Structure 1
Amino acid sequence: MQLVLYSKPGCHLCEGLQEKLAQLRQPEFDLEIRDITSRPDWFQVYQYEIPVLCVLHHTESGVAEEPLPRLSPRASLAQVEQLLQKYLSKSKRK
């Protein structure tokens, strides 16, 4: 599974989610961190929404991003893992 985390430097909510993702061993995923301040289009879309976690789906026409439901900043490691397991099993069924 490929995940993208839209973030920006100094965002404590982004850093907290990134730390939880780094602790997970299951499900297996590749994580790409995208700094929204590096591209005006990302900044425009996500400036008030970060952190935003998306799963990438490979389709015949390219790659599609699906934003995952926003987790509470207080979400436990188990809750983050549960969310990813749910979307991993969903994407395998497609």
Structure 2
Amino acid sequence: MRLILYGKPGCHLCEGLEEKLEQIRGVLNFELELRDITSRDDWFNAYQYEVPVLCKESAGKEELLPRPSPRASTAQVQLMLQKYLSNN
């Protein structure tokens, strides 16, 4: 399973979610790909007001996942991901 995190440099919300995902990566088996929206116009136009954006990639298609609250604990993010990753 692969998760894609769209974000931008200097975004504290993006960095916070990335940190939580890194902490649970060993518990849940997934790869994490970070995508800087400032590196491509299509990503920037799609997500400039939405970052961080989390997607799961399955069969070559991206599926948007609900964005966890910035106040969500690492455990809460893990529970949310378990729900969405098990629906595979």
| Shared fold (TM-score, shorter chain, > 0.5) | yes
Provide the rounded CA distance (Å) in 2 between the counterparts of 1:82 and 1:47.
Answer: 27
Question: Does 2:78 correspond to 1:78?
Answer: no
Q: How does 1:9-28 map to 2 (within 5 A)?
A: 9-24=9-24, 25-28=26-29
Q: Which amino acid aligns with 2:79?
A: Q
Specify which of 42, 60, 64 is matched with residue 61 of structure 2. 64
Structure 2 unmatched runs, 5+: none
**Runs of 4+ off more than 6 Å:** none
Query: Per-residue deviation at 1:40?
Result: 0.1
Q: Which runs of 5+ in 1 are unaligned?
A: none
* Number of residue pairs the alignment of both structures matches: 87
CA distance in 1 between counterparts of 2:21 and 2:85 reads 14
Q: Using the TM superposition, give the Cα deviation of residue 66 of structure 1 relative to its aligned residue in structure 2, in angstroms.
A: 0.5
Residue 32 of structure 2 is matched in structure 1 by: 31
Q: Percent identity?
A: 66
Query: What is the TM-score of this pair, normalised by structure 2?
Result: 0.96
Secondary structure of 1:66 counterpart:
strand
- For residue 28 of structure 1, report the CA deviation from its aligned partner: 1.0
Deviation string 1:6-45 (CA, Å, 9 cap, x unpaired) is 0000000000000001111221110000000000000000
Deviations 1:36-89 (A, max 9, x none): 00000000000000000000011xxxx110010111000001111011111111
State which structure, 1 or 2, has the greater radius of gyration over its C-alpha atoms. 1
